[in-house]
């Protein structure tokens, strides 16, 4: 079982926190790959650890700053949060039974499609 250094974990948390505050990302896009490639975790351990990390701080720091600027729709957040809770639990029941390499492949395809879509849309809007 991997035992990454405290400094490595602080670096992963700092990067995820900075990118979360900037872009609203962190868990799946930053923490999971960092835990796999830098800390040596397997796919399931990285995913589970990322979910555990996100429980306390996601609703606190950055969300509070956005809320103070009037940039949070409480109704939408509540509905999405409840739906996310139920769906995440249901899908996790299945995902924990899928072999790690298949999960990593699905994740890679998802991130690639998302990245291509974001770049395409950004370039199109530059004109």
Is residue 117 one of the residues assigned to a domain?
Answer: yes
Q: What is the pLDDT of residues 33-63, one digit of tens each?
A: 989 999 999 988 988 888 888 877 666 777 7
Is residue 1 one of the residues assigned to a domain?
Answer: no
Is residue 48 one of the residues assigned to a domain?
Answer: yes
Residue 57 CB partners (closer than 8 Å, separation 6+)? 17
Is residue 98 one of the residues assigned to a domain?
Answer: yes
Is residue 29 one of the residues assigned to a domain?
Answer: yes
- 30: domain range? 6-126
Q: What is the pTM of this model?
A: 0.66
Is residue 44 one of the residues assigned to a domain?
Answer: yes
pLDDT of 52 reads 82
How many C-alpha atoms does 34 have within 13 Å on its Cβ side?
Answer: 18
Total structural domains within the chain: 1
pLDDT of 59 reads 63
Q: How far apart are CA 13 and CA 31, in angstroms?
A: 7
Q: Which residues in the chain land under pLDDT 70?
A: 22-24, 57-59
How many C-alpha atoms does 96 have within 13 Å on its Cβ side?
Answer: 9
pLDDT of 119 reads 94
Is residue 18 one of the residues assigned to a domain?
Answer: yes
Residue 17 CB partners (closer than 8 Å, separation 6+)? 26, 57, 61
């Amino acid at each position: 079982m991997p035992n990454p250094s405290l400094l490595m974990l602080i670096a992963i948390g700092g990067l995820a926190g900075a990118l979360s505050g900037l872009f609203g990302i962190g868990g799946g896009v930053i923490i999971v790959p960092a835990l796999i490639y830098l800390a040596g975790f397997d796919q399931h351990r990285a995913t589970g650890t990322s979910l555990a990390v996100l429980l306390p701080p996601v609703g606190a720091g950055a969300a509070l700053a956005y809320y103070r600027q009037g940039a949070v729709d409480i109704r939408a957040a509540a509905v999405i949060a409840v739906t996310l809770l139920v769906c995440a639990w249901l899908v996790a029941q299945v995902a924990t039974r899928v072999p790690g390499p298949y999960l990593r492949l699905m994740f890679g395809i998802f991130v690639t499609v998302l990245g291509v879509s974001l770049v395409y849309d950004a370039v199109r809007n530059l004109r």
